[in-house]
Structure 1
Amino acid sequence: MKTSLQQETVFAHIQSGLQKLALGIALIAALYHLQLVINGIPEAYRFRTTHLSLLLPLAFLIKPSASQNRPWLLSWDLLMILTSAGTTLYLSYYDYATIIERLPGIDTLTLPQVVIGSALLLCILEAARRIVGWGMVAICLAAVAYTLFGGLISGPFAYSGSTYTDLVDKLIYTTDGIFSIPIAASATFIFLFVLFGKFLERSGAGGLFIDLAFALAGRSRGGPAKMAVITSAFMGSISGSATANVVSTGAYTIPLMKKAGYSPSLSAAVESASSTGGQLLPPVMGAAAFLLVDFVGIPYTDLIMTAAIPALLFFVGIFAAVHFESVKLGMKGVDKSLIPAWRSIFLRIYLLLPLVIVVAVMFMGYTPYLSAVLALISVIVFSAFRASTRMSFRKILMTLIDGTKDAVLICVTCAAAGIIIGVAAETGLGIKFTSVVLGSTSNSLLLLLFFMMIASLVLGMGLPTSAAYILIVAIAAPSLIDAGLEPIAAHMFILYFGVFSAITPPVAISSYAAAGLSGASPMKTSLLAFKLCIPVFLVPYLFVYHNELLLLGSPQSIAYQILSCLLGMIVFAAGISGCLHKPLSWLHSGFLVGASLFLMYTNNLLAIVATVAVIALMMKFTTKNLPKLKGSKNENSAY
């Protein structure tokens, strides 16, 4: 007994020491990335390996395998920490000159270089298992197996195969694999914007968003659910993570919806659907947006403008679906005593100025890197205006540390995704996939888009958005571009359905997180969230067929498409929910769905006729009183 107690004491001391080590490394990583805005960014390979050397060991420190019940795994944790730090520092400093001067594919790797590369691959896969899950690891291992044993496959995906040494060379010792575009974006834009989002959240802006949503939507029918939509939109844009958004805002909005009479499943579904879309909302968006910028090769300011209208359509669709469901259930608004006064909101509106600064600096022609740093500094300055939001020195340090820990997920995801990108470059998998898909769709753009949608939803299941986006882009983007899509439209189509995979059954991470907060069935929640999102599933198809929604075209055509699609989205949501100002028959619902599709997808007289018919139908129902519905607080919704 005494020996066991002593062992537990020793284990606790070691764990405490490792936690302090994690704090120290996280702080050093934050300060290292911040000082680059003054001293400049080093050569690409050194910068990316240094970034990984700081964040990869953190993955094992913040997600240890060892515990009081499994102390024997402490040795494995320590081995991973030391190996991940040692291998990356070997690449960035000890053997850096040799690596930079060698000719990849011509100069053969030495045995120590193969061993170091293999050890780093093992560390990345183990970190991905802990941080992302087995799904990402399985995909990476399948990619490696395809590279080594592709000769065993016949047909269009046959590959002659590469040696293991060649594979390690490609993945580790070049910028075409692990240290390619994803890790570059993680080291620059993404890391600093994660820090900025964490500072904005800690400054009191999060509470301001909630109060603003209360004031805007709290009094209307279904106010708690609409408030959840608005709050999640605001917070999701700065957090960049659907699951993190669910956990942070859902802890407040889900109990409020349940108290108002929404079922636990519907409350969780509203929160998860809304939180997922926050990653698509400018100006900050999620980590995948910065990856998109690097892949497409456009300024971030262009993406902000391009993504604005599709994001507006997304939240109009969700908001409309929530409204019509609330009408069907006979819901009321929030009690007036709970709604904050506009005066208190206006007195704190300065907390949102950092968002203005980050956009203004980028539109002035400066890099997103510099704009993120300046905006971060402005958060500290503006939060000091009031004692309640002022950030002490300790709070600033802890925010830097917590922001760095949040960036670990993205860094590990990008490193693991680099394996897939390296394999695609080595084997030509993307070209083969493009050839097969284009050949099977018989030159039908609609059929091609449908296949890409299914592929995005399936491949993205269980993965963070950034991982889903990278995985699908590496394989599928060439197919869409070869079919004639604008590169920005093709990448945004993939991004949208990569985002939607978080709420699509059977593996819906955001929905499951919301269900845990609500005490609801995870599967039922994911099905409800999926149905709430049916209207917004049209958005990617809309901007592919109407590039005007991406602000490509004449001002007149852009204005027409925006107005027709906004109206069509509302009408489509009414048809899907089976309710307008009162429950509708299946015939009326079908008419609304059909009319909305004509309205959104056509540019001729038929669209105008559909619009007139929809308006006439809406006017007809506004003249009738809504009957009281029974059982509004039970799980008897059409959802």
Structure 2
Amino acid sequence: MSNELPPKEKEKMKLPPEEEGNISEEKQKEILQKYDPESNTRDLSGIAKHLVFFGLLAFSLFQLYTAIDGQLTAYLQRSIHLGFALSLIFLLFPAIKRKGDRRKVPFYDYLLALLAVAVGAYWPIMYDDLVFRVGRVTEMDLIVGILAIVLTLEATRRAVGLPITIISSLFLAYAFWGPYFPGFLKHRGQDLDSTVQLMFYTTDGILGTPLAVSATFIFVYLLFGAFLVKTGVGEYFNDLSVSLAGHLIGGPAKVAIFSSALQGTISGSSVANVVTSGAYTIPMMKKLGYNKEFAGAVEATSSTGGQIMPPIMGAAAFLMVEFIGGISYWDIAKAAAIPALLYFSGVWIMTHFEAKRVGLRGLTKEELPDRKEVLKKIHLLLPIVIIIVFLMVGVPTMHAALYGILATILVSAINKETRLSFKDMIHALVDGARTALAVGAATAAAGIIVGVVVKTGLGLSLANGLISASGGSILLTLFFTMLAAIVLGMGSPTTANYVITSTIAAPAIITLLMLDEPAGAAVPMVIAISAHLFVFYFGIIADITPPVALAAFAASGISGGEPIRTGIIASKLAAAAFIIPYMFVLSPSLLMIDTTWLELIWVVATAFAGMIALGAGLIGFWYRKLTWIERILAVVTGLALVYPEGIYSYVGVVVFIVLWAIQWTARDKKAPKASEA
């Protein structure tokens, strides 16, 4: 953690006047393009700009039409969605990430875009013929199928990044060269015809479940987020956060936590969340006295947690509904609620103790916005509340998003400053489609992985291998799964990460959790959700885990801090995130499934106390500076409290009370009061 800053050093940390406000839009764009492949687009002009604009608009209108009027058949809906996504990616995303003239589209990208349109149109044009001769691939089918695979991989490389492209390519290679692999990885192999048929002429490959979710739920929720952004809700989140938390000890850091949790409802990207809210909060933290690395780490950790914050979580949460089956999105959101609150509580506690240790104040009354003025725009949060209510009462997930878009338009009209004009709505449709491009490519590439796993039986083989390597220990299996999710998540989107780990590692967790169930019994919802949420969480945490910590690197681009150190501090701040998934697998009460209120209150209370002890131990300050023995004891106590076994929790509670009493009686009375947390 950061060292204590003497007054002179705090004075040195003050930013020059031109840096005291928000980071410029140019700087934000530069950081996004550097660390977020989804933002590295061309700045088109002329005909190309209009072509892309109307292409994106048509994409959104098609998706809205099918969402309102009813989806097309699976092959038609998904192939048209794929055609839109691929063709627009080739027009928007350059082949090589280098500075140059980004206002024009080279001729070869126009050619690739036309080929992508042809691939997307092949199923609608040839639908009857393809259905009639299902299982037989003609020469033209083979050519189009190969094009679909190659174009998907190249579009994914441009819009999402190289890691997921390499992984998808390796899975394809595994499909062909299965006979040459050793041991349980060996399979009979696939020829070109059967592989192409699997990948483009069934719903187990590129046109599989991941793309289906992108072509339905995810797209509509991205549109909802785009409409919310047009109302100015992003800036309002910052103002509301400052108004509510700015006056507290270390106020700007807590503003970052509060704001990023809210921003997560409209942003599916940790990096985008960092740049959006961090451009506002990081300079404020530095001005107050936080050092550069700690300021960046707070924002990175908070922004990463935005993807696990209900009601609208990362795109992979919508995939989870389809992969588990028999559940609604609300089941996922409800189950993730307490773990998400514990995550942000852990970050809040850590930053609070750090602020007390260093002696950082909150914002003064003069530095705070007028709370009455802020509350005048509270209506901007109504669309989110409306979506929550609709999901709670059982309204279909897609319809809830449509009602949310309509509510956003109506609610924005309450205040002249937030009112959406027709032009704003058109641009919201365009922006939503632009955001969906990378998701479409990532889910199509993920479909390649799923297709190979299903066809070769790799998922079952790897799950059995994982159980064997762990010796049947649930804790070791969870640990190995955590490592796999973090490694796969380094530079890969959460969506693709979740697809891989949910098809390979989640079955191993489920198998071990089902040992006490009768043979052949259906997997209980609580077991399925806990296993899938486990891999989902650690795929997200990869964004702040060095050495490839994209969210931490983006935050350091704003703070000017050292990226790796920022990532290390962010990982410390997110200590709760590395523990909570183990908690809800071993103690599903946290997921609010098949539990009583008494059990839930006990588990949450002990977990929260554990976060306090763990935070104090890691930071080295509670009511006063902790000795090394106290720090070790506090960390051990925190782990005991968050471990769900009864005896550990009871012992932890006793030690926690003793530690608290020692700290309280010997507190540093010059330090800011804990009541100001």
Does TM, normalized by the shorter one, top 0.5? yes
Residue 650 of structure 2 aligns with which residue? Answer: 608
Instruction: Give the Å deviation of 1:15.
Output: 5.3
Matched residue, 2:507: 478
Counterparts of 1:418 and 1:577 in 2: how far apart (Å)? 43
- 1:625 to partner: Cα distance: 4.7
Give 1:526's match in structure 2, choosing from 538, 559, 567: 567
Corresponding position of 1:5? none
Deviations 1:278-312 (A, max 9, x none): 11111111111111111112101111211111111
Q: Which amino acid in 2 is paired with 1:492?
A: L
Q: Pairwise mapping of residues 484-495 of structure 1 onto structure 2 (< 5 A)? A: 484=513, 486-495=527-536
CA contact (8 A) 2:171 2:452 kept: yes
Q: Partner residue of 1:408?
A: 437
Deviation at 1:132, TM superposition (A): 1.1
1:536 aligns with 2:536: no
Q: Corresponding residue for 2:237?
A: 209
Runs (4 or more) in structure 1 with deviation over 6 Å come to: 70-73
- Counterpart amino acid of residue 223 in structure 2: L
| 2:641 is the counterpart of 1:599 | yes
Match in the other structure for 1:7 = none
Partner of 2:15: none
* Structure 1 segment 3-14 matched on structure 2, within 5 A: none
Letter of the aligned partner of 1:81 in structure 2?
Answer: A
**Alignment match, 1:379:** 408
Structure 2 SS opposite 1:463:
coil
Q: Is 1:195 aligned with 2:237?
A: no
2:128 aligned partner, one-letter code: A
Matched, 1:101 2:143: no
Deviation at 1:395, TM superposition (A): 1.2
Deviations 1:423-476 (A, max 9, x none): 101111101101111111111110110000000001111011112111211221
Deviates more, 1:552-561 or 1:457-466: 552-561
**Given that residues 27 and 404 in structure 1 are in contact (C-alpha distance below 8 angstroms), is that contact kept between their aligned partners in structure 2?**
yes
Q: Is the 8 A contact 1:65 1:74 kept in 2?
A: no
Match of 1:147 among 175, 179, 195: 175
2:351 to 297, 300, 322: 322
5 Å-filtered alignment, 1:460-609, equals 460-484=489-513, 486-552=527-593, 553-609=595-651
- List gaps (5 residues or longer) in structure 1: 1-11, 630-639
What is the match of residue 395 of structure 1? Answer: 424
Q: Specify the alignment match of 2:447 in structure 1.
A: 418
Shift of 1:13: 12
1:583 CA displacement? 2.1
Q: TM-score, normalised by structure 1?
A: 0.93
**Matches for 1:202-351 after TM superposition, within 5 Å:** 202-297=230-325, 298-351=327-380
Tell me whether 462-471 or 167-176 shows the greater mean CA deviation.
Answer: 462-471
Structure 1 CA distance for aligned equivalents of residues 612 and 224 of structure 2: 34
CA separation in 2, counterparts of 1:612 and 1:356? 40
C-alpha distance in 2, partners of 1:448/1:68? 48
Cα deviation, 1:228-281, whole Å, max 9, x if unaligned, reads 001000001221211111111111011111111111111111101100001111
Q: 1:310 to 1:138 in 2, by over 3 A?
A: same
1:239 is paired with a residue whose SS is: coil
Query: Per-residue deviation at 1:207?
Result: 2.3
Say which SS state the counterpart of residue 312 (structure 2) adopts. coil
Q: Secondary structure at the match of 2:231?
A: helix
Mark the CA change 1:259 to 1:362 in structure 2 (over 3 Å): closer, same or farther.
Answer: same
Partner SS state of residue 614, structure 1:
helix
Is residue 52 of structure 1 aligned with residue 82 of structure 2?
yes
Distance 2:104 2:346 in 1: 52
- Tell me which of 432, 436, 441 is aligned to 2:470: 441
How many percent of aligned residue pairs carry the same amino acid? 38
Change (3 A) 1:555 1:13: closer
Q: Which residue of 2 aligns with 1:127?
A: 155
Given that 1:198 and 1:239 are in contact with CA atoms closer than 8 Å, whether structure 2 keeps it comes out as no
**Separation (CA, whole Å) in 1 of partners of 2:513 and 2:43:** 61
Partner residue, 2:456: 427
C-alpha contact (below 8 Å) 1:50/1:89 kept by paired residues: yes
Contact 2:274 2:303 in 1 (8 A): yes
Conserved 8 A contact 2:48-2:105: no
Moved more, 618-627 or 180-189: 618-627
Q: RMSD of the TM alignment (CA)?
A: 1.9
TM-score, structure 2 as length reference? 0.88
Structure 1 residues 68 and 555 mapped into 2: Cα distance closer, same or farther (>3 Å)? closer
- Report the Cα offset of residue 27 of structure 1: 0.5
- Secondary structure (helix, strand or coil) at the match of 1:262 reads coil
**One-letter amino acid of the structure 1 residue matched with residue 83 of structure 2:** S
Q: How much has 1:70 moved relative to structure 2?
A: 9.0
Q: CA deviation at 1:352?
A: 0.7
Per mean C-alpha deviation after superposition, the further-off stretch among 492-501 and 591-600 is: 591-600
The 2-side partners of 1:358 and 1:233 are apart by 17
1:323, CA displacement in angstroms? 1.1
Cα drift, residue 72 of structure 1: 11
Cα deviation for residue 573 of structure 1 reads 1.6
Change (3 A) 1:120 1:619: same
